[in-house]
Chains A and B, each alone.
Chain A
Amino acid sequence: MQQTIDQGFYQSKVCVIDNGTGFTKMGWAGNTEPQFDIPTVVADHQEKQKVQMSKNTNENLDYYIGYEAYDYTKSHNIFYPMKSGIVENWDLMEKFWHRSIFDYLRAEPDETTFILTEPPMNPPENRENIAEIFFETFNAKGLHISVQAVLSLFSSAFAPVNEYQKTAGLTGMVLDSGDGVTHCIPVSDGYVIGSCIKHIPLAGRDITQFIQTLLKDRGENIPAEDIKKVAREVKEKYGYCISDGDLIKEFQAYDRGDKNKFKTYYGKNSVTKEKYTIDIGYERFLGPEMFFHPEFLDGKWRSPIDEIIDKSIQTSPVDCRKKLYQNIILSGGSTLFDGFAQRLEQQVQLRIDSRLQKYEQRSGFKPAPIKVNVTQNPFQRYAVWQGGSLMALQPQFEKVYHTRQEYFERGPSIARYNAVFQPQY
């Protein structure tokens, strides 16, 4: 007597979850922006001394995620389940997913396909673990794990900003800088050239830390409990990249007392609710300068980002180098600084021009110039998520994801394989 449900409109029940070290972006595919952008944090009661709880509370369900987690710092411990883009604590991650699927997205996993993201060079065991959790614990209908860089390319390929991107398709160099790590990933026709990936373990979190020390050293009157928040807000609101790379000129502009350069931050003490103001100066441009002078932050790293990008492209196969130079894509929150794209474009262009000039001097032939293009996506912070959302809408997507049936036939190892390069089982 039960009628079957007319699928039609409901066919595309796809959730995109982009778990990053700092923030998790999640939402239903088909939208342009993720509906949730919450910190990847779990407040769990474990390792706390046993406290008498009411009988109505189930200890195992007593945990919170996202911004909610910060409200429970007194009774719970705060845990970060991810580090440098890779899941560290699977127990907590499973809890995080459980809450986000049932409470935040309100998805019934039996009927939903999930698109998850992973950093490049993610160990295959991690993919297997993800498949195990999603298929065995949640009974997901389908699962697709995609590399973040490919998804940001997907997003730019479907909403091209310039002429090059219209023809570039899924070939491009992705500079992905989030909270934990900065990656340079060359992608050719949707496939990551794994051997040419370069990375520096400096990213948004380090810039925040650097600004925090600058503020502290200058003796600004900031309450200790708010300093991290203030540093982050200063970075996000006032940070910029100097256009020509001339640091001395910029310092001089500040020393002259240029009014446009100095800013004032208005804050409110989170405990006493007292208002305070602080002046912001050099840290506006010194923080983002990390990309071009990493030695300011950490003496171990001396290669600027343009050199790393150049090296990465030069080690890539020769037939795609030109395309990679023409399509450098920025992704992740830490590439949002004003003037970053222009500065990077300028620096990489300088390197290529000098190389071509040297070639001309030695060989006597004048090679055709190569124009570098660095593009900012209008939804840069969510580029990865948006790529996933667009991917889910493609008619081919149904052939790409792994279904529950496949999982139960072949086991977690299906997560290791790509849908295009079919394995010989």
Chain B
Amino acid sequence: MMLIDPQNKLLQTQIMDLIMKKDPRIVVAKDYNYSCTKLQYKENGRLFLSFTCFNFNEIFSIAGNYMIDKYYKDYTKEDPDVGFHLTFSFNVQSAKEEPKIQKNATEAEKAEIQEIKLQIRAENQKLFEKVTKDFSQIRRNFYASAFEQAFDQINKGQTASKFKYQSRENEVVYAIPDQDALNIFYEISFSDNVDKTLANLIITEIIDAKKNVKMAPPISRSNYQSSILKSAFPEVQNIKVDPNSQLITMTLFKAQHFSKNIEQLSTFLQGFRQYLHYHIHASKTYLHSRIIKRISQFQRSLQLCQFEPEVEKKTEDIFTSSGVKA
């Protein structure tokens, strides 16, 4: 059950709010992986969206232009805001204005204008929904575009170039395209001990689960000794193997996996780490609530238990009782 929506719920609600209320204010929102988004509605009727993340330049050099072409063609690219790397703007006034019904209009005219009004309102609603969707999933689009570009190139029969980017402080993602496949190597590292154990379990589960899934891609746990990885990125040979981190490899094939609907696949690929993290914490919450229940059960039974009254031992005193008789 994948619960992490590619659309940022926070941005989604705020964008609609800003557009509808035409309220000039700034909303700053952080997202996963040290990314940050800023929304600003200015009095001139423009909505600005700025985005940044710690590895911006690295990913932008891979597929930045591809992303802009694919998702943000309809918006104006502005000079980046201070502290941000990318800024787009949308002119809210580009929405059509609803006609006004004049006082002296006849009933027939009124009905006609009302119909046009409803039509325009529906069109505007569609436009605003599109803006909300595009703007609220900027993080997803940015990270997924690297994969989407590679898939697209392979689908078209072009040669896609290999790429790698640092996804978090101790984690790097490597992607090595083949003629009709894409090999992806995920480095995953958790600092907390419990998280690490649970991550291990979930990864084992994922690897096992492929038996039950139709056309499951080969997924395995590997180390840096993989020949594909070593030949594509020779620098991995010098990595000091961190006991906390592990490498997961998956190979996606053109025929089975990305001949159509590359968007859904890329959404999952860019959010793989969050997916793991989400479920680790969900399992911890579950375990925690079970522990609490168990403890309260124990406490209840402890409260109910009674001490057995101590039975006094009856020992006969040899001096006072029957032994000595005067």
Cα of A102 to Cα of B31 in the assembled complex, Å: 10
> In A76-102, which residues have CB < 8 Å from any B CB?
90-91, 94-95, 98, 102
Complex: A255 Cα to B212 Cα, angstroms: 75
Q: Is the CB of A103 within 8 A of B5?
A: yes
Query: A32 with B281: in contact, given A3-B166, A108-B33 (CB under 8 Å)?
Result: no
Nearest CB in chain B: distance from A382 CB, A? 13
Nearest-CB distance from B21 to chain A (Å)?
Answer: 12
Contact B32 A106 (CB under 8 A): yes
A409 at the interface (CB under 8 A from B): no
Residues of B within 8 Å of A226, CB to CB, are none
Is B319 on the interface with A (CB-CB < 8 A)? no
From B9-17, B257-265, B308-316, give the one contacting chain A: B9-17
- State whether A137 and B169 are in contact (beta carbons under 8 Å apart), knowing that A30-B28, A35-B13, A35-B29 are contacts in the complex: no
In the complex, per-residue mask of B1-24: 1 if CB is within 8 Å of any chain A CB, else 0? 101110011100110000000000
Distance, CA A104 to CA B8, complexed state (A): 8
CA distance A418 to B29 in the complex (A): 29
- The reply on B255 being an interface residue by CB < 8 A is no
CB-CB contacts below 8 Å: B286-322 with A: 286, 288-289, 292-293
Knowing A2-B166, A31-B28, A109-B281 are in contact, say whether A10-B9 is a contact too (CB < 8 A). Answer: no
B10 near A105: Cβ-Cβ < 8 Å:
yes
Smallest CB gap from B192: residue in A? A139
Q: A60 at interface (Cβ–Cβ under 8 A)?
A: yes
- Given the interface pairs A58-B1, A106-B8, the reply to whether A13 lies near B30 with Cβ below 8 Å is yes
Report the nearest B residue to A54, measured CB to CB. Answer: B1
Decide: B286 and A60 in contact? CB cutoff 8 A.
yes
Q: Is the CB of B169 within 8 A of A2?
A: yes
* Given known A-B contacts A35-B27, A98-B282, A108 and B277 have beta carbons under 8 A apart: yes
Chain A: minimal CB distance from B194 (Å): 8
Chain B residue numbers with a CB within 8 Å of A1 are 172, 235, 238-239
Instruction: Find the residue from A2, A9, A58 having the highest chain B CB count within 10 A.
Output: A2
Judging by beta carbons under 8 Å apart, are A91 and B292 in contact?
Answer: yes
Which residues of B are in contact with A by a Cβ distance under 8 Å? Answer: 1, 3-5, 8-10, 13-14, 25-34, 36, 52, 54, 83, 166, 168-172, 191-192, 195, 235, 238-239, 277-278, 281-282, 284-286, 288-289, 292-293
Listed by A's residue number, 9 A-B pairs whose Cβ atoms lie within 8 Å are: A1-B235, A2-B166, A10-B34, A35-B29, A102-B3, A109-B281, A110-B191, A136-B288, A137-B288
- In the A-B complex, list the 3 residue pairs whose CB atoms are closest, starting with the nearest: A91-B289, A137-B284, A58-B1
Interface residues of A (CB under 8 A from B): 1-6, 9-10, 13, 27-28, 30-33, 35-36, 56-58, 60-62, 90-91, 94-95, 98, 102-111, 133, 136-139
